[in-house]
Structure 1
Amino acid sequence: MNALEIRELFPILHQEVNGKPLVYLDSAATSQKPVQVIDVLEKYYREYNSNVHRGVHTLGTKATDGYEGAREKVRKFINAKSIEEIIFTRGTTTALNIVANSYGRANLAAGDEIVISYMEHHSNLIPWQQLAKQTGATLKYLPLQDDGSISVEDVQKTITPNTKIVSVVYVSNVLGVINPIKEIARIAHENGAVMVVDGAQAAPHLKVDVQELGCDFFAFSGHKMCGPTGIGVLYGKKQLLENMEPVEFGGEMIDFVDLYDSTWKELPWKFEGGTPIIAGAIGLGAAIDFLQEVGLENIEAHEHKLAAYAMQRMSEIEGATIYGPKDAAKRAGVITFNLADVHPHDVATVLDAEGIAVRAGHHCAQVLMKWLKVSATARASFYLYNTEEDIDKLVEGLVKTKEYFSDVF
């Protein structure tokens, strides 16, 4: 399928916004959903809405099969060894907090080091800040090259035998940088540290193989990869998860409860307290089916092509600054930029009047904004349903934005 054929499968894209055809360029914040996912969600609620695991009736059995079937789809999608290594969460944020609050609190002490980078999303920064405060560990940052990338040489200099956790984003939600996770994981392991990966921007766009990457934990969200909101995944190596304590307690995650003590279910269910996100997991399974039908390699190639075209077209706009690597092959389909003398929020507002949806602000990456020496940026992010025509409309909108503010001032 080409991008135009794929686009036909997304009902929300066939509308006008402010009297103009919608150009959706905010998939890094959340992707749109194809009919295959929407139909599966509707079918669950219409035909077999029920709780899972506990019931023996027909609807409960069907719901359990759908929920656990989705877990197996996730396992194959990221090439985990076992479904015991796949934990359903509310999203990337929850998954990373589980690692920090369960593994981190049990394994870190004063004098230990946590290594992250300046480009981390707040979800992969604040949990480690808090863990450092609670344990007395030291939080260290990987330096960035001028284009925002991470060099393996700097990784080798920063990670030491005192490092216990390294947590790095696979693909930056601001710079679009694709980080050398496999090499970072190797260096982390050579120093006795575990490797945590924020995969929120990677899982929708790149073929992920957690065994090849060598990571110990990998977190991602369904809503950025054509799935529903409110569902995510934490992958963890079995031997690590087995020695970790749950962070939520209640129904579903228990084995035996006595008056003064309780025991937990086996993996992965000991980390899934309460009624799980059943419809979300089933919808995520449908999204995985859809992405695999299109092909992750095809999605990645399409986005590299769009990124290259966008950078070429936007470089024609006087006063436009694009952040991140200049080589489109080194980045995913994210273009973060500023227009001289025009605030990013004003850029986004004028573009919205043209039916073009982009993101403006600090993108939950205030540390990176300080490194870039800006308070905010605008961001256009592409996905499998975007075309070069969308980018042409973006460029036209940016030219209008410049003209509008030139007239105003």
Structure 2
Amino acid sequence: MMNVDKIREDFPILNRTVHGKPLVYFDNAATSQTPQVVIDTIVDYYSNYNANIHRGVHTLSQEATDKYEEARIKIQKHFNAKKPYEIILTSGTTHSINMVASGFASLLEKGDEIIVSALEHHSNIVPWQMLCEKTGAILQVIPMNDEGELQMNVFHQLVSTKTKLVFCNHVSNALGTINPIEEIISTAHKFGAAVLIDGAQATPHIKPDVQALDVDFYVASAHKLCGPTGVGMLYGKEEWLQKLPPYQGGGEMIETVSFQKTTYAGLPHKFEAGTPNICGGIAFGAAIDYMNSIGFEAIAEYENELLVYATAELLKIDGLKIFGTSKNKTAVISFNVGEIHPYDIGSILDKLGIAVRTGHHCAQPIMDFYKIPGTIRASFSFYNTKEEIDTLVKGVKKATMMLS
């Protein structure tokens, strides 16, 4: 059993008020809050060993390099990558996806097919559309059903020897649906296709094992995992990372440079041009340590308890409809009340100190499927409580009365 009251003490922001009300933070799918140990790691870096990394002979540079590469190993072990250099540190999930899309521009031919799912975030749609425009490849889409689940029978019909790449999120950011990525990966591999899994929404709740999944690429962002913004990771199998060309040119990613020819550095530096977010990478490692100290099994069990409770309580409100009703989902509830615009309810909730997300959540095709402008999304984390959910329910009821 987790001691949630004790855990909440680790997050200083949870003590603040908004509009004179205690903060109730239910926007965790957008970004999680940051524990004091991660904040302390950031302060320690800038206070004691702020320096550029790699190849520096002075003490601060060596200390920063050691800490940065230690963080890479923490991330490698957390995701169970085979080698540390299969972890590329990036600015986040979007950056990671674009790196892979850019690399495949030189590997695809006109008429090749790539598959995405209907549940994707815009960052896992737009780069592939751009890739198709460059290469003449054809974009196929796995459709969804009313419950917010992928129609896997259609996927099995779409995938073929023409399929070169398959992209799918592990968890839908808009609906919380956990997708059957094991089936997607194994099926795609039977046809020789590579698979990229967007783990941005999964990694706060699930501890993926990339070797057990046999996935080719897996991407995630630190700020969903109690870490800082502006840093994330791309896992890639070594053989794929060797095939892909560099994403950017510059310092750090080279072996030799002359005006006649440049040769590239080995992994992971080939994909890490320029000065990285050094502090962010180190803090990412600290966040991984913190979440593992709590334990992902305990996190999943408690968050599911919050999800079940919140679902039952919200459905008691007249006219409230939940979008995304898969039995296999994380602690995310997207809902609307009658014909009231989600923004209006969200604005009133903010005045009550309750932070939720409103809109299409960078998943406009999902909203188009349901023929709605957007939803109110309440997303829970292991530091939230049932008492906060009660506050949300009261707030939605009040907003509904005011707007009806």
TM-score by length of 1: 0.97
| Residue equivalent to 1:270 | 270
CA distance in 2, matches of 1:324, 1:246: 38
SS of the aligned residue for 1:229 comes to coil
Paired letter, 2:379: S
Cα shift at 1:118: 1.0
Deviating 4+ runs (over 4 angstroms): none
CA distance in 1, matches of 2:343, 2:145: 27
| Residue equivalent to 1:76 | 77
CA distance in 1, matches of 2:208, 2:96: 17
SS of the aligned residue for 1:111 comes to coil
| Residue equivalent to 1:48 | 49
| Residue equivalent to 1:168 | 168
| Residue equivalent to 1:29 | 30
Do the aligned residues in 2 keep the contact of 1:182 with 1:212 (CA within 8 Å)?
no
Q: 1:381 aligned to 361, 379, 382, which one? A: 379
CA distance in 2, matches of 1:186, 1:326: 22
| Residue equivalent to 1:335 | 333
| Residue equivalent to 1:12 | 13
Cα shift at 1:146: 2.2
| Residue equivalent to 2:359 | 361
| Residue equivalent to 2:124 | 124
SS of the aligned residue for 2:224 comes to coil
Q: Runs of 5+ in structure 1 lacking a partner?
A: none
Do the aligned residues in 2 keep the contact of 1:155 with 1:187 (CA within 8 Å)?
no
Do the aligned residues in 1 keep the contact of 2:142 with 2:152 (CA within 8 Å)?
no
More deviation, 294-303/392-401: 294-303
Paired letter, 2:52: N
SS of the aligned residue for 1:306 comes to helix
SS of the aligned residue for 2:228 comes to coil
* Deviation readout 1:250-273 (Å, 9 max, x if unpaired): 111111001121011100011000
Give 1:1-400 correspondences, 5 Å limit: 1-102=2-103, 104-325=104-325, 327=327, 330-400=328-398
Paired letter, 1:44: Y
Cα shift at 1:145: 2.4
Identity %: 50
Paired letter, 1:18: H
CA distance in 2, matches of 1:378, 1:301: 24
Cα shift at 1:293: 0.2
CA distance in 2, matches of 1:2, 1:107: 50
CA distance in 2, matches of 1:188, 1:205: 25
Paired letter, 1:95: S
Do the aligned residues in 1 keep the contact of 2:142 with 2:151 (CA within 8 Å)?
no
Q: Runs of 5+ in structure 2 lacking a partner?
A: none
Paired letter, 2:356: V
* Deviation readout 1:18-39 (Å, 9 max, x if unpaired): 0100000001001100001000
CA distance in 2, matches of 1:18, 1:245: 50
Do the aligned residues in 2 keep the contact of 1:118 with 1:371 (CA within 8 Å)?
no
CA distance in 1, matches of 2:93, 2:375: 23
CA distance in 2, matches of 1:213, 1:312: 33
Paired letter, 2:46: Y
SS of the aligned residue for 2:206 comes to coil
Do the aligned residues in 2 keep the contact of 1:52 with 1:63 (CA within 8 Å)?
yes
CA distance in 2, matches of 1:196, 1:322: 29
Cα shift at 1:243: 1.4
TM-score by length of 2: 0.98
Query: Would you say how many aligned residue pairs link Structure 1 and Structure 2?
Result: 403
SS of the aligned residue for 2:105 comes to helix
Cα shift at 1:151: 4.1
Cα shift at 1:110: 1.2
Do the aligned residues in 1 keep the contact of 2:25 with 2:354 (CA within 8 Å)?
yes
The Cα RMSD (Å) is: 0.9
CA distance in 2, matches of 1:90, 1:231: 4
Do the aligned residues in 1 keep the contact of 2:148 with 2:326 (CA within 8 Å)?
no
Cα shift at 1:168: 0.1
Cα pair distance change 1:210/1:326, threshold 3 Å = closer
| Residue equivalent to 1:405 | 403
SS of the aligned residue for 2:167 comes to strand
Do the aligned residues in 1 keep the contact of 2:201 with 2:224 (CA within 8 Å)?
yes
Do the aligned residues in 2 keep the contact of 1:348 with 1:359 (CA within 8 Å)?
yes
SS of the aligned residue for 1:106 comes to coil
* Deviation readout 1:120-173 (Å, 9 max, x if unpaired): 000000000111111111101001122011243232112111111000000000
CA distance in 1, matches of 2:5, 2:138: 50
CA distance in 2, matches of 1:256, 1:319: 65
Do the aligned residues in 2 keep the contact of 1:87 with 1:271 (CA within 8 Å)?
yes
Paired letter, 2:148: G
